[in-house]
Amino acid sequence: MGAPIGIDIALAAALLNDGKLVAIPTETVYGLSANGLNTDAVAAIFAAKNRPTFDPLILHVSSIDQAKSLCSTWPAAASKLANAFWPGPLTMVLPKADHVPHLVTADNPTVAVRMPNNAMTLALLNQVSFPLAAPSANPFGYVSPTNAQHVLDQLGERIDYILDGGPCAIGIESTIVSISEEDEVTVLRLGGLDIDSISAVLGKSISEVLTTHSNPQAPGQLDQHYAPGSSMIPWDPNQSEAEARLINHNSNETFGLLWFSQQQAQQWLSLHPAAAANKTMKHYHLSEDGNDKEAAMNLFGTLRRFDKDQCHQVYFVWAPPAGLGRAINDRLKRASAKGSR
Ligand code: TXA
Ligand code: MG
């Protein structure tokens, strides 16, 4: 059972008007949405996700004007970036307007705003009179959902409807930047928009505050975010002990091997037939020939496959750190920090 999955935008709007919870498709990942100006509805999001209230939510909007109405200032950099990248995978953290509930921003003086690039969700936003507060639609600390079934699997019993927009085109959460009243732009989270594109629009390089520990500016950027059920262990195919680690892995237990590309996997496995013959190993790749966008799109779904296969441990290969490769590595790093939980 669980929440119905469908494409009824009018029904989704009616439920949201009623203070209910609706999962929505975006180009990055599915969100768990509610009326972002209704404190009770927002509280229900935290409860459904089991999310601590110190972790603030993003408000999703359908226009730049709506975003401006949620902020107390709209610096020049916000205009430039919104014009260049919205709708799209960029969230901007700006000084908040007074009427934005404190629960949404976790008592921060700032609010996160984003216009998602998904036709259904934009149509839905146009049918309601409020912004949608929406974190990723997964239980707190687990990997984000990239299709409607992922949402149903984990939150189906706790929400009222799942709007089905098909698989997410980008597959990794939005890039988050904060913009100060003085127009200073700082990256808080790597994501679906690469940093070079942002720098190019601003005409200067931008600083990054990507702490691996709880960050007062981005309280949700915790170490062990995005973790699947399996333990994720970095593995370097070029190291001399790489093959031995696979061969010597406890032979009674299914384990996983995550490649960045199929090409890389084929080359290495053909040179190491003893490892390739290990029947307890499940291996998947993120892309055919090393395309970073394809890899990002496949990342979370692939981590879920290892869980379905009941792999207790998964060895993974880092992505080349260019384009979305940096954001992919950020998620892999957080997933592998789970062991320290
Ligand atoms: O792509 C996305 O961003 C997806 C889709 C659904 O839009 N949403 C998403 O939401 O990833 P969530 O809640 O899983 O992650 C949002 C992050 C959190 O880590 C939170 O700490 C940070 O945004 N955030 C929200 N408001 C903030 C604020 N005022 N200051 C600093 N960080 C903030
Ligand atoms: Mg999340």
Q: pLDDT by residue (tens digit) across 39-66?
A: 999 999 999 999 999 999 999 999 999 9
What mean pLDDT, rounded, does the chain reach?
A: 93
Instruction: Find out whether the beta carbon of 330 lies less than 6 Å from any atom of ligand 1.
Output: no
Given a cut of 70, whether residue 97 has pLDDT beyond it is yes
Q: Which of 172, 177, 209, 211 is nearest to 192 (CA)?
A: 172
pLDDT at residue 211, rounded to an integer: 62
- 257 and 137 in a common domain: no
Specify the CATH number for the domain of residue 75: 3.90.870.10
In a domain, 313, yes or no: yes
Q: Examine the fold and report which residue of 139, 173, 208 is the final residue of a domain before the chain moves on.
A: 208
Instruction: Find out whether the beta carbon of 31 lies less than 6 Å from any atom of ligand 1.
Output: yes
Given a cut of 80, whether residue 339 has pLDDT beyond it is no
Number of separate domains in the chain: 2
CA distance linking residue 104 with residue 84, whole number of Å: 26
CA distance linking residue 341 with residue 333, whole number of Å: 13
Q: pLDDT by residue (tens digit) across 221-259?
A: 555 566 778 899 999 999 999 999 999 887 788 999 999
Q: pLDDT by residue (tens digit) across 144-174?
A: 999 999 999 999 999 999 999 999 999 999 9
- 54 and 201 in a common domain: yes
- 170 and 53 in a common domain: yes
Residue from 30, 32, 45, 57 whose mutation best tests the ligand 1 pocket (most atoms within 8 A of CB):
57
Specify the CATH number for the domain of residue 304: 3.40.50
- For atom 7 of ligand 1, the residue with the nearest CA is 31
Q: Examine the fold and report which residue of 208, 239, 269 is the final residue of a domain before the chain moves on.
A: 208
pTM check: above 0.75: yes
Q: Which atom of ligand 1 is nearest to the CA of 225?
A: 19
Domain range for 57 is 5-208
- 174 and 99 in a common domain: yes
- 254 and 118 in a common domain: no
Q: At what angle do helices 292-308 and 148-155 cross, to 10 degrees?
A: 40
